[in-house]
Amino acid sequence: MRLVLVRHAMPAADAAVPARRWHLSPQGRAAARALRLPAGDGTRLVASDEPKAEQTLIEATGHAVVATDPGFGEVRRPAEWTPDHREKAHAYVSGTVHHGWEPHAAVAERFDDAVARHATSGTLIVATHGMAMTVWLASRVAVDAGSFWSRLRFPDIVDVDLAAATATRRPQ
């Protein structure tokens, strides 16, 4: 199976709405449309159940509907708006356990289970989120989680070879 992970495009952030309900910004939609994803027979498209991830895959592929799976959702954490979110997120992917945040092992397990549910003999393209992707990759391949996460773009594409235990970000 070929596995391609897509970090969602830039959402329209709204402090009054939990991040898991955010939709793509107009700029995010345009960036998603510019993505070059593999296509063809045997390609399966699955997004997290968060609108920004689903919309990224819809915009990138032109499909009106894609499958969703909460197993590919972002790290579960309190719905709070804090100015230090980026620093907290970086610390989390680097191994810090924050009170109320989903344990790293639980993220890796649910992501693993979702990959197994949607495995195909062709290509599996998954639209997901930066922290969840990073925590899962750190559990499966050799990546420096903090460095990997801090370099992710909105959107971004990562080719994963589980047999070789490698993850490669595509140049854009």
Domain limits of the chain?
2-169
Q: CA–CA separation, 26 vs 23, rounded Å?
A: 10
List the pLDDT tens digit at each of the 172 positions of the chain: 999 999 999 999 999 999 999 999 999 999 999 999 988 888 999 999 999 999 999 999 999 989 999 999 999 999 888 889 999 999 999 999 999 999 999 999 999 999 999 998 999 999 999 999 999 999 999 899 999 999 999 999 999 999 999 999 999 7
Torsion angle of C-alpha atoms 134, 140, 142, 148, degrees rounded to 10: -10
Nearest to 139 by CA among 169, 160, 117: 160
Which residue intervals of the chain are DSSP H helices? 26-33, 51-61, 85-93, 104-118, 130-140, 145-151
Q: Within its chain, how far is the Cα of 27 from the centroid? A: 18
Q: How far apart are CA 130 and CA 148, in angstroms?
A: 9
Measured distance CA(62)–CA(19) in Å, rounded: 24
The CA-atom distances, in angstroms, between 74 and each of 111, 131, 162 are 10, 7, 21
Name the phi and psi angles at 147, rounded to 5. Answer: -70, -45
Measured between alpha carbons, how far is 3 from 6 in angstroms, rounded to an integer? 10
Compute the distance between CA of residue 4 and CA of residue 127 in angstroms, rounded to an integer. 9
The pTM (predicted TM-score) of the whole model is: 0.97
Q: The domain 2-169 is classified under which CATH number: 2.40.420.20, 3.30.420.10, 3.40.50.1240, 3.30.420.40?
A: 3.40.50.1240
